[in-house]
């Protein structure tokens, strides 16, 4: 199983709360949760609404588009799976749905990344069952 992995980074731990999120990512679709009671859209996956603690939630499909809220460029990281990708961009992307997602910006040079830059989701296939959402400049 480990031989199938295309990267050596630690892989996310999938639990009951995050399972629908990761299943959607494996289909190359991005979903976040929405509270049926107050309408709040939120990420990361939880079993209750962070606003009013109700458990009446639904999953909503995202457009996959957003913009860079903030970012940093990492030049030094000697951990296996990370050092091969240096330099890389860590960013918070604000989705059109209003939530912010900690992710990587790919598909452009780190020096091309800007605050408010329009980005769209892409998926890195790690295993046949696990794909990780990253973001690239729109149209790239």
- Exactly one of 8, 19, 44, 51 binds Zn ion (CB under 5 A); that residue is 51
Helix, strand, or coil here: 23? helix
- Torsion sign, CA atoms 103, 107, 111, 117: negative
Phi, psi (degrees; rounded to nearest 5) at 36:
-75, -20
To the nearest whole angstrom, how small is the minimum distance from the Cβ of residue 129 to Zn ion? 31
- Exactly one of 25, 30, 32, 35 binds Zn ion (CB under 5 A); that residue is 35
Q: Considering the complex, state which of residue 38 and residue 115 has its C-beta at the smaller distance from Zn ion.
A: 38
By the rule CB under 5 A, 138 interacts with Zn ion: no
* C-alpha 1 chain-centroid distance: 24
Q: What is the largest CA-CA distance in the chain?
A: 45
By the rule CB under 5 A, 122 interacts with Zn ion: no
Q: Considering the complex, state which of residue 4 and residue 51 has its C-beta at the smaller distance from Zn ion.
A: 51
For Zn ion, the binding residues (CB under 5 A) are 35, 37-38, 40, 49, 51-52
């Amino acid at each position: 199983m480990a031989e199938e992995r295309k990267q050596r980074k630690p892989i996310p731990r999938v639990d009951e709360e995050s399972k629908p999120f990761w299943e959607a990512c494996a289909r190359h679709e991005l979903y976040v949760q929405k509270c049926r009671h107050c309408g709040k859209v939120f990420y990361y996956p939880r079993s209750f609404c962070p606003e009013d603690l109700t458990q009446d939630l639904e999953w909503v499909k995202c457009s996959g588009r957003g913009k860079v809220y903030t970012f940093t460029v990492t030049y030094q990281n000697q951990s296996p799976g990370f050092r091969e990708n240096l330099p890389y961009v860590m960013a918070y992307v604000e989705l059109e749905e209003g939530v912010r997602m900690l992710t990587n910006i790919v598909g452009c040079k780190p020096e091309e990344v800007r605050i408010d830059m329009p980005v769209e989701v892409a998926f890195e296939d790690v295993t046949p069952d696990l794909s990780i959402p990253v973001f690239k400049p729109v149209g790239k």
